[in-house]
Amino acid sequence: DIDGTHNSFEKTSLKTVRITDGSSKRKSYWTTETETAKTESDAKITLGLAPGELAIVNPNKKTAVGNEVGYRLIPAIPAHPLLVEDDYPQIRGAFTNYNVWVTPYNRTEKWAGGLFVDHSRGEDTLAVWTKK
């Protein structure tokens, strides 16, 4: 929890905007577009090369300068599985389909690959929990 329990997951994309009307000597500028996840499925992220930021914030709490209280996630080098999604080992390891998963706390949802990943059939994994 970040300064309370009403937290949101935000994905901010950096966008380049070309200036075409001659109003500036500059040719372009950049701006941001922020999306707030409404469901757990919205918060599944596959990292790529596009510039952007991921953050978990509490929209009800503000810092001294007026920003939302939160944490920015800084990922390392992304990796992606080589198996197809309906291959049996990948069904059990479906937690590798996305680089970032965001879920509310649930005591029974502890192991991303199921309680015993080598015995799992994929019914008790992170991929199933986020279909809610």
* Other beta carbons less than 10 A from residue 13's beta carbon: 13
Q: Is 2 a domain residue?
A: no
- Judge whether 13 and 51 are in contact, CB under 8 Å: yes
- Judge whether 122 and 96 are in contact, CB under 8 Å: no
Q: How many domains does the chain have?
A: 1
What pLDDT, on a 0 to 100 scale, did the predictor assign at position 47? Answer: 87
What pLDDT, on a 0 to 100 scale, did the predictor assign at position 1? Answer: 67
Mean pLDDT within 87-97: 88
Q: Is 117 a domain residue?
A: yes
Residue-number span of the structural domain to which 48 is assigned: 8-129
- List of residues 6+ apart from 3 with CB closer than 8 A: 58, 61, 69
**What is the Cα gyration radius of the chain?**
19
Take residue 96 and report the two structure tokens written for it.
Answer: 């590798």
- For the stretch 47-80, pLDDT in tens is 887 888 999 999 999 999 999 999 998 877 778 8
CB-facing half-sphere around the CA of 67: CA atoms within 13 A? 8
- Judge whether 59 and 33 are in contact, CB under 8 Å: no
Q: How far is the C-alpha of 56 from the C-alpha of 43, rounded, in Å?
A: 11
Q: Is 14 a domain residue?
A: yes
Which residues share a beta bridge with 66?
Answer: none
Q: Is 35 a domain residue?
A: yes
Decide if pLDDT at 3 tops 80.
Answer: no
- For the stretch 8-52, pLDDT in tens is 999 999 898 998 998 988 889 999 999 999 998 899 988 887 888
Q: Is 48 a domain residue?
A: yes
Q: Where are the alpha helices (DSSP H) in the chain?
A: 88-92, 126-129
Take residue 23 and report the two structure tokens written for it.
Answer: 């109003």
